[in-house]
Chains A and B, each alone.
Chain A
Amino acid sequence: MPSIPLHPRAISPSNPHDNPLPNLLQTPSGLALLELQGTINFPSTEEQQPDEQQSQDQDPADNDAAPTATGTTYETPLGKLMFPDYSPQTTSNDDTSWMKRVYLYVGRYQRMTGEVKKLPQPIAVVQRRGETDELEILEVVKFKMIFKSRPEPVNDS
């Protein structure tokens, strides 16, 4: 098929849960971007192993299997995100100084310091519309969290 439609709106916008991120990073669908120099290596369980291998070995485009039955979806804890200079109550909307510092804890003893940056060009998150060959823009994201420094060891206080 030579022509593939790309719809500007998602047919079924996802309803986000309460979004714990700072307002600036919140989008209608709740999606946010996090850029990491390097990859996260997961504590692999037996069933996770094949998935893991696939997603690394294959072309990213092949990795677009829609989430299978919801029963099999599970989350692996990685760590935590922290915005040390941001507090939802006191930080005003035009104050951007908090953006300079974001912590990403990996596990308990490693911490990366990053920042929140405005994207030079907004990025559209595109997905397949259901099981069709059509595409849709799920969200347009304007900011990202970027972590480009090495993790530093920290004490879990």
Chain B
Amino acid sequence: MSTQAARSIPFTHTTPQQGFRLLELPPELVELVFSNEAPTLELKSPPPSQSQTESQSEPDEARDYVHLCTPNKTYQVRQVQSSNSLHILRPSTNAAIVENKNEIDNNGDDDMDMELAMNTETVTSIAKCGSTLELYMPKEGFSAVPFLVKTLGFYSGGEDRADVDVDMVDGDEGEYARITMNALFADIPVSKAQCEQGWVDLCAFVLRSNAKTNTPSANCWRPSAKVKVDVWKRVVEGAVLQGINLEKQFLVNDLWKSVLDDNGEEPFPRGLFEAVVRRVCEDSTASGEAMQWTNIEKPRCIQWIGETYLEAKAPTATSALGRSEFLNAWKDHLPESWRSEVTFSKLPEGSYKFPDPTSICYVKEGDRQKVKKNLSTDASAATTAKKSRNWHELFRNQRRR
């Protein structure tokens, strides 16, 4: 028998057992973990207000969910129970067993009395896991936008100005913004890169408010569509006045000066101005640093201002705008040479609808999803029904006819 020749490895169980969690790694994460400068990953759960068990550090203790974040990707962590037990083994010297041997003998359990004392190479089970953690990334990925929308203060300009104190004397404004943003992002359960992307997409900005609280969200704002449009309009006018070509490289500081009032007063906070410029410029990163040189990315800008203007002026079907009126207004918010490029097809897919033959209105982000889903479910219903062995689905279509 071949077993005679093979070496047998004594197998033991260590008490007390250690605590481990087993985490399945998708290929791209394996690569990341084994890379030379492997980044620190983060386990993020929703802000503490939502989970009651904030004192528990173990990730799966959180009531809602946990996301595993690499610097730029977000995975959902799922705990998968198994009826099998997974033991974690480790080589060991059997020193600990020898001490314990008498005790076992005393039990009269000589089954266990094997050739352990002679063999030094043993494996021992140091932990048992009944579940593993799996990582899952939905097809559409995760976006920070919904979380940011919930967290950020809503900035609608004008009336809010009274209780927002612009404190521009500090030289470390950029530093402050960065710290505030990082504190805010720590509570957003998606990766940092996705947080920054969402931050830029929303034109969010940091502005110290009078409220002397430590919560980062008290000083972070997302402007309303109208505010964004107004700021941009002013930027375009300023650029024309000062002869700044937005398509070419320009100093952001020059552009800022061009939007100031005659007596040097700020029409809106600089953070807001930079957020709007960042939204439409090339290589937009939300570092919190003051911007230096940049240039506006034309297609991105045309699309953004069209969508934002529509959101500001015609948020619902009841307030729909005339189509030609909208197109003209859209053109008016662009530098002269870009006017010819404006068409409805430049708007993001699903972001608008025509409630009647002459008008156009905005479709909110949340409603777009619904429209898309309805379409796809209708189309795929037939195919899934064919494949399905579920009778309800199989015969649903026939019943309709």
Binding site for B on A (CB under 8 A): 1-9, 14, 16-21, 29-40, 42-43, 45, 48, 51, 55, 60-68, 72-88, 103-105, 107-109, 121-128, 133, 135, 137-138, 140, 144, 148
The answer to whether A140 and B84 touch (CB under 8 A), given A33-B89, A126-B21, is no
In this assembly, does B280 line the interface, its C-beta being within 8 Å of a C-beta of chain A? no
B87 touches A36 (CB 8 A): yes
- From B56-64, B158-166, B238-246, give the one contacting chain A: B56-64
Q: Mark B113-145, 1 if CB is under 8 A from A, else 0.
A: 010100011111100111111000000000000
With both chains docked as a complex, state the minimum distance between the C-beta of B279 and any C-beta of chain A, in angstroms: 26
Closest Cβ–Cβ distance, residue B72 to chain A (whole Å): 15
18 other A-B residue contacts (CB within 8 Å) besides A34-B87, A38-B85, A74-B14: A6-B41, A8-B41, A20-B91, A32-B90, A35-B85, A36-B85, A37-B83, A43-B112, A60-B129, A68-B16, A75-B97, A76-B112, A77-B12, A78-B112, A82-B3, A87-B7, A121-B26, A125-B88
Contacting pair A85 B2 (CB below 8 A)? yes
Min CB distance, B354 to chain A, in Å? 43
A3 touches B15 (CB 8 A): no
CB distance from B84 to the nearest CB of A (A): 5
Residues A65 and B15 in contact, CB atoms below 8 Å apart: no
- B61 → chain A closest CB, angstroms: 6
- Asked whether A81 lies within 8 Å of B42 as measured between CB atoms, the reply is no
A40 to B130, CA, bound (A): 13
Q: Which of B3-39 contact A (CB under 8 A)?
A: 3, 5-27, 30, 32-34, 38-39
Interface bracket on B: 35 or more
Option from A8, A38, A68 in Cβ contact (under 8 Å) with B33: A8
Chain A residues within 8 Å of B104, by CB = 43, 76-77
Question: Shortest distance in angstroms between A57's beta carbon and chain B's nearest beta carbon?
Answer: 12
Check A30/B128 contact, CB under 8 A, given A3-B186, A55-B17, A66-B19: no
Is the CB of B348 closer than 8 A to any CB of chain A? Answer: no
Smallest CB–CB gap between A68 and chain B, Å? 6
Q: Are B13 and A78 in contact (CB under 8 A)?
A: yes
Asked whether A2 and B186 contact (CB < 8 A) given A34-B86, A66-B18, A108-B114, the answer is yes
Could you tell me the distance in whole angstroms from the C-beta of A139 to the nearest C-beta in chain B? 9
Min distance, Cβ A61 to any Cβ of chain B, angstroms: 5
Which of A34, A48, A72, A148 neighbours the largest number of chain B CB atoms within 10 Å of its CB? Answer: A34
Known: A75-B97, A84-B6. A126 touches B122 (CB 8 A): no
Indicate if the CB atoms of A122 and B43 lie closer than 8 Å.
no
Interface contact B85-A4, CB-CB below 8 Å: no
> Are B42 and A74 interface neighbours, CB within 8 A?
no
> Which of B16, B46, B57 is close to A73, meaning CB atoms less than 8 Å apart?
B16
B100 at the interface (CB under 8 A from A): yes
Question: Known: A20-B123, A63-B19, A138-B20. Contact between A104 and B41, CB under 8 A?
Answer: no
| Cβ of B277 to closest chain A Cβ, rounded Å | 30
Choose among A21, A78, A80, A144 the residue with the greatest number of B CB atoms under 10 Å from its CB: A80
Complex contact B2–A135 (CB within 8 A): no
Is the CB–CB distance between A48 and B15 below 8 Å? Answer: yes
A75 and B123 contacting across the interface, CB-CB below 8 Å: no
Task: Report the nearest A residue to B56, measured CB to CB.
Answer: A61
Q: Which residues of B contact A65 (CB under 8 A)?
A: 16, 19
Instruction: Judge whether B38 and A9 touch: CB under 8 Å.
Output: yes
Q: Which residues of B contact A83 (CB under 8 A)?
A: 6-7
Contact partner of A74 among B15, B40, B90, B122, CB < 8 A?
B15
Q: Closest 8 interchain pairs by CB?
A: A64-B19, A8-B38, A20-B121, A75-B12, A133-B57, A6-B41, A107-B111, A4-B43
Interchain Cβ contacts under 8 Å between A and B, 22 examples: A2-B54, A4-B42, A4-B59, A5-B42, A8-B33, A33-B88, A39-B85, A42-B13, A43-B104, A51-B15, A51-B16, A63-B17, A65-B19, A76-B13, A76-B97, A81-B9, A81-B123, A82-B9, A109-B111, A123-B25, A126-B20, A137-B23
